[in-house]
Amino acid sequence: MTAIRTIRNLGPATEAAFERAGVRSAEEVHALGADAAYARLLQAGEAPHFIGFYALVMGLQGRPWNDCRGAEKDALRVRFDALKAARDKGRSEIEAALDAIGVIPRR
């Protein structure tokens, strides 16, 4: 098992978040792929963060996080928004708003 932090752009905080989500190795992250791995983070209660998502995508490709630009970044925003929407499905607007400002516990 290889540590998650060995994936480019990912550090100890992301590794800890993945561990809370039940993902324990770099091999698991690679096997899941960026979208499914990020969905696991969201399901575990991590707050959505676009830069975190595209840093993961770039890292799995062996690229620096700031290598993402233009149309590629726009396409990743669409994927990120879809992941976020799937997480929020079935929640009321007030619940989503309260969650966004940290008033209610993360799921």
SS (H, E, C) the chain: CCCHHHCCCCCHHHHHHHHHCCCCCHHHHHHHCHHHHHHHHHHCCCCCCHHHHHHHHHHHCCCCHHHCCHHHHHHHHHHHHHHHHHHHCCCCHHHHHHHHCCCCCCC
Instruction: Give the tens place of pLDDT for each residue, 7-63.
Output: 999 999 999 999 999 999 999 999 999 999 999 999 998 999 999 999 999 999 999
Q: Which two tokens stand for residue 72?
A: 């590629």
The predicted pLDDT at position 2 comes to: 97
- Rounded to two decimals, what is the model's pTM? 0.83
The predicted pLDDT at position 96 comes to: 67
Q: Where are the domains of the chain?
A: 4-100
Instruction: Give the tens place of pLDDT for each residue, 77-87.
Output: 999 999 998 88
Q: Is pLDDT larger for residue 32 or for residue 107?
A: 32
The predicted pLDDT at position 89 comes to: 75
The predicted pLDDT at position 50 comes to: 96
Classified by CATH at the fold level, domain 4-100 comes out as DNA polymerase; domain 1 (1.10.150)
